Structure 1
């Protein structure tokens, strides 16, 4: 389905560093467009995540257990709010602050790892986004998707505005099974080992998917470069052919110019000779008329 394909591409793109995002997205658009123009258009609409959204998306990928703990806390907070249980609300709110504080420390470390400036404003937006994810289920699903384009903000327990916040479709709430939080009864060692193995498997799959995506991206760039090279070669060949034609034409014109110059020289020589002959003829005619006049006078 198109939505599944979009989410798959979005999962990869929003796991990248922001400076890698645009080039990777455009390469994927070029790859998909010949076969699925609708999917290519939807991928093109994906926007680079804000600095805070990038850090939250990384937390989802690296600290999925802690994020699930936070979302489960949100469920309990909403239940306590509905019951009007002030004591429970205070206890859960303290626990939420502690968990968010730990996640903020991780976010700062991630920012340093990517050589980015984790300013106070960015970390405040990360904190607001994590807190907003506990306010209602849609916000929690948006947070858990790991495909945030911008941060989230909650106003009390009102529904969180998600317009333009999530790339693709958020994970349905029912798709995330409820899990035991830290502070509840500890999981068995077998479960812990299974969770570790699953996390490692997911990390390997993510690394493999990223490597395959980079191969596709590099292949698309190479094909585009080959196409540009072929076009440039054709243009160069055409230009070389035209240059040869002009050189031949120049040689023909040069030869014709030499011939015209010789013809001009010959015509000028003939003109000078003719002019001399005409002058002599005029003198001869004049002399003949004089002789005629003399003969006529003597006869009379």
Structure 2
């Protein structure tokens, strides 16, 4: 790569990280400032789409390299025909693509240009392309996109047209994958995770069973409580009836006492009357003699 090419790539990367609304003025200013052949090439740089600019922000944010590293791991798993590893990496890839697309949206919104749903979808396709295809990853990681990358639409020089400046031939240097010993250790750790997940699944099934039993026990307890409440209501009614009966007995006992007193009084009156009668009879008999 010539010095002019390197200079153009450097300026393009800086310009394409600016919000699209500021791109044209900044490009023209830099072109006039640098001048010469490089300046003329800078003046011809295309304004990026908002989605491409958001991907450039993501590259500068430093997180897209993780997606490319996952791509390498995915290829290793494919070469090894490691089904468990492929399944895990597939899930991780989908999660990472979605997370990076959200991060790009946050960066764009933070820079004053929120992404529409269509733009966010284009960003997600570019991130996915970087994970799946190393050639696309090399282009995207330049941070010089003027258009987003969709693997389904990559034909002819589409990738070259999507990148301002030079198109890299290979991925930039990224941290190497773990060596064999580290990979074995990782797989052992993953087996431990799977075993822990199995234990968790068993525990969750047991919890579900216990919860069902608890629900049944609560239902029985509710029914028993309903019976207790009904019995308590019956008892309350019976106690009231008993209290009413006791009160009636007390009234009748009072009436009985009053009647007994009346009988006693009447008897005394009878006795007095009989005594008076007898006395009167005796007086009458004495006067006649």
Q: TM-score, normalised by structure 1?
A: 0.53
My pick for the range that moved more, 17-26 or 115-124, is 115-124
Distance between the aligned counterparts of 2:97 and 2:149, measured in 1? 14
2:47 maps to 1:48? yes
If you compute each CA radius of gyration, which structure gives the higher value, 1 or 2? 2
Asked if 1 retains the 8 angstrom alpha-carbon contact of 2:57 and 2:143, the reply is: yes
Correspondence 1:113-152 to 2 at 5 A:
113-152=110-149
Aligned to 1:169: 166
Tell me: CA distance 1:121–1:156, structure 2 relative to 1, closer, same or farther (3 Å).
Answer: closer
Aligned to 2:104: 107
CA deviation vs aligned residue, 1:159-199 (integer Å, no higher than 9, x gap): 99403111112455364132569xx899xxxxxxxxxxxxx
Distance between the aligned counterparts of 1:23 and 1:101, measured in 2? 33
3-state SS of 2:90 partner: helix
Asked if 1 retains the 8 angstrom alpha-carbon contact of 2:160 and 2:167, the reply is: no
Asked if 2 retains the 8 angstrom alpha-carbon contact of 1:132 and 1:154, the reply is: yes
After TM superposition, give the deviation of residue 108 of structure 1 in Å.
2.2
Distance between the aligned counterparts of 1:117 and 1:125, measured in 2? 14
Is there any run of 5+ residues in structure 2 with no aligned partner, and where? Answer: 187-289
Tell me: CA distance 1:158–1:3, structure 2 relative to 1, closer, same or farther (3 Å).
Answer: closer
CA deviation vs aligned residue, 1:5-28 (integer Å, no higher than 9, x gap): 101111210111111110011111
2:93 maps to 1:91? no
Asked if 1 retains the 8 angstrom alpha-carbon contact of 2:101 and 2:127, the reply is: no
After TM superposition, give the deviation of residue 158 of structure 1 in Å.
9.6
Is there any run of 5+ residues in structure 1 with no aligned partner, and where? Answer: 187-300
Asked if 2 retains the 8 angstrom alpha-carbon contact of 1:154 and 1:160, the reply is: no
Tell me: CA distance 1:25–1:79, structure 2 relative to 1, closer, same or farther (3 Å).
Answer: same
Tell me: CA distance 1:98–1:157, structure 2 relative to 1, closer, same or farther (3 Å).
Answer: farther
Partner of residue 13 from structure 1, selected from 8, 12, 15? 15
Aligned to 2:196: none
CA deviation vs aligned residue, 1:34-59 (integer Å, no higher than 9, x gap): xx2x2122212211111111111101
After TM superposition, give the deviation of residue 136 of structure 1 in Å.
2.3
Correspondence 1:240-251 to 2 at 5 A:
none
**Matched length:** 180
Q: TM-score, normalised by structure 2?
A: 0.55
Tell me: CA distance 1:159–1:178, structure 2 relative to 1, closer, same or farther (3 Å).
Answer: farther
Asked if 2 retains the 8 angstrom alpha-carbon contact of 1:135 and 1:160, the reply is: no
After TM superposition, give the deviation of residue 100 of structure 1 in Å.
1.7
Q: CA RMSD in A?
A: 3.0
Tell me: CA distance 1:133–1:120, structure 2 relative to 1, closer, same or farther (3 Å).
Answer: same
CA deviation vs aligned residue, 1:222-267 (integer Å, no higher than 9, x gap): xxxxxxxxxxxxxxxxxxxxxxxxxxxxxxxxxxxxxxxxxxxxxx
Distance between the aligned counterparts of 1:133 and 1:174, measured in 2? 10
After TM superposition, give the deviation of residue 76 of structure 1 in Å.
2.2
Aligned to 2:277: none
3-state SS of 1:133 partner: helix
